[in-house]
């Protein structure tokens, strides 16, 4: 058995730590100090590092952590990420025997080219591709790739917990409500989010079911979203055109 705990880092990152009573694995450690403090406070030994993509706020703590714990780093190798010791590709499996977890690896480009997802039963680590109520920016690759990556994640079972890497939920839901003012699930999630943040608690993980009900980037065929965008001048109502219009609007929202 294992638990997964959010360790807040940097401005608004979460480093997710998988742990039992003795051992831990850290996902996207953008800085080392909060992970080391968490391990110390709980008497845990670091066993592995998982890396979804190479942005500095996801890999910035790896060198320092490996100075203390010489552990493997599982992720997609890239010239901009010198830390990876095991290169993972679409269809690979990653076993973490300590925790009895087997992850399936999905390649999910569209934020960065080297972005991968780690998927186990009821568990998704998706880095910066999906956020609570939103999605990542398109820095590399195409918006069609980002859309496709999100659709693959949305096809996971409804009860899959979504461990994404930033606390952006409140801002994303304000945008979601502008897209779909009549969606009661968005209003309910805004209320829940406000209560959690008022108590300084993470709004994550969410679930795939919750994201499908409230995240506009997974709802590009919804009539209310299409109508909202048409009022803003959209003419092409294909899913990709809707997705593209949403992503562009979100960038300036």
Considering the complex, what minimum distance in angstroms separates the CB of residue 16 from Zn ion?
A: 15
Q: Do residues 167 and 14 make contact, with C-beta atoms less than 8 angstroms apart?
A: yes
* Residues binding Zn ion: number (CB under 5 A): 2
- How far apart CA 167 and CA 173 sit, in angstroms, is 12
* φ/ψ of residue 170, rounded to 5: -60, -50
Residue placing its CB nearer to Zn ion in the complex, 23 or 83: 83
Residue 123, helix vs strand vs coil? strand
**Four-point Cα dihedral 60, 19, 91, 204, nearest 10:** -70
Rule CB under 5 A: choose which of 25, 32, 46, 55 binds Zn ion: 55
Residues in 121-140 that interact with Zn ion by CB under 5 A: 128
Residue placing its CB nearer to Zn ion in the complex, 82 or 184: 82
Instruction: Kindly write out the interface string for residues 183-222 of this chain, putting x where it contacts Zn ion by CB under 5 A and - elsewhere.
Output: ----------------------------------------
Residue 127, helix vs strand vs coil? strand
Residue placing its CB nearer to Zn ion in the complex, 55 or 76: 55
Closest C-alpha among 114, 111, 181 to residue 146: 111
Considering the complex, what minimum distance in angstroms separates the CB of residue 81 from Zn ion?
A: 12
Considering only the stretches 5-13, 50-58, 59-67, 143-151, report the one whose residues sit in contact with Zn ion under the rule CB under 5 A. Answer: 50-58
Residue 28 touching Zn ion (CB under 5 A)? no
- How far apart CA 85 and CA 72 sit, in angstroms, is 6
Q: State how far the alpha carbon of 167 is from the alpha carbons of 116, 127, 203, in Å.
A: 20, 12, 7
Considering the complex, what minimum distance in angstroms separates the CB of residue 50 from Zn ion?
A: 15
Helices (H) and strands (E) counted in the chain, each on its own, are 9, 14
Which residues here bind Zn ion, judged by CB under 5 A? 55, 128
């Amino acid at each position: 058995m294992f638990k997964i705990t959010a360790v807040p880092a940097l401005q608004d990152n979460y480093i997710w730590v998988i742990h039992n009573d003795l051992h831990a694995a850290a996902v996207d450690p953008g800085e080392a100090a909060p992970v080391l403090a968490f391990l110390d406070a709980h008497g845990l030994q670091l066993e592995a590092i998982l890396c979804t993509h190479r942005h500095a706020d996801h890999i910035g703590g790896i060198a320092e952590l490996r100075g203390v714990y010489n552990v493997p780093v599982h992720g997609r190798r890239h010239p901009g990420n010198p830390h990876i010791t095991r290169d993972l590709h679409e269809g690979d499996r990653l076993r973490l025997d300590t925790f009895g977890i087997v992850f399936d690896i999905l390649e999910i480009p569209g934020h960065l080219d080297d972005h991968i997802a780690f998927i186990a039963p009821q568990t998704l680590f998706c880095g910066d591709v999906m956020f609570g109520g939103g999605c990542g920016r398109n820095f590399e690759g195409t918006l069609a790739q980002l859309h496709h990556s999100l659709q693959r994640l949305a096809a996971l079972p409804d009860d899959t917990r979504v461990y994404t890497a930033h606390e952006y939920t409140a801002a994303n839901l304000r945008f979601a409500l502008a897209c779909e003012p009549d969606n009661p699930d968005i209003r309910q999630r805004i209320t829940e989010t406000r209560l959690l943040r008022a108590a300084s608690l993470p709004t994550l993980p969410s679930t795939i079911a919750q994201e499908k009900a409230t995240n506009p980037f997974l709802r590009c065929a919804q009539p209310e979203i299409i109508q909202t965008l048409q009022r803003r001048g959209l003419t092409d109502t294909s899913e990709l055109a809707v997705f593209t219009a949403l992503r562009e609007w979100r960038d300036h929202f």
